[in-house]
Amino acid sequence: MTNPNLVNTSSVFMSTNTATVTSGSDTIILSNSSGSNNIVRADTLTFCNTTATATSIDAYIVRSSTNYYVSKTVAVPEYSSMVVVDKDYPIYLEEGDTLRVASTGSTVSVVCSFTTITDV
C-alpha cells in the first residue's frame, strides 16, 4: 500500500457522492481501491433527515476489515441536517479503505464532497 507524495501531485480531482441510506443497512459513500495510487480526502460529510422522526446515524472507515467510527449513534432531529466531517477536519482514505454510513431512520440523505489526489 502506497500513498502519493502530496508535494509532487500530478492530478487533483474534486467530486461529490450522494446516497439515500435506509434503516438496517450500511452504504459505502466513498472508497479508495487497493492499488489506486491515490489518496482520497473526504472534505465534507453531511446527513439530512427528511422525515418527521428523529434518527441516529453512523459514519465509519473500514480499514483491513476493522471499523473505525467517525460518529456512532449520533441523533439527527426531524427535518434537520448534521455535518459529521468538514473541511477543517478532513478524513484521508488510504488504498483499500472505504467510508461507510448507516442510519436507524428510513430516509436519510448523505452528501460527501471529496478530493482525489495522485502523483502518478
What is the pTM (predicted TM-score) of this model? Answer: 0.89
Q: For position 4, what pLDDT does the model report?
A: 62
Residues 27, 119, 30: CA angle, nearest 5 degrees: 5
pLDDT per residue over 49-105, tens digit each? 999 999 999 999 999 999 999 999 999 999 999 999 999 999 999 999 999 999 987
Q: How far apart are CA 60 and CA 72, in angstroms?
A: 8
C-alpha cell at 107: 430516509
Q: How far apart are CA 19 and CA 109, in angstroms?
A: 6
Confidence of residue 6 (pLDDT cuts 50, 70, 90): low
In 10 A of CB 31, how many CB atoms?
16
Q: For position 32, what pLDDT does the model report?
A: 95
pLDDT per residue over 14-52, tens digit each? 999 999 988 878 899 999 999 888 899 999 999 999 999
Q: Using only C-alpha atoms, what is the Rg of the chain?
A: 15
Contact 52, 27 (CB under 8 A): no
Amino acid letter at 85? V
Q: For position 119, what pLDDT does the model report?
A: 73
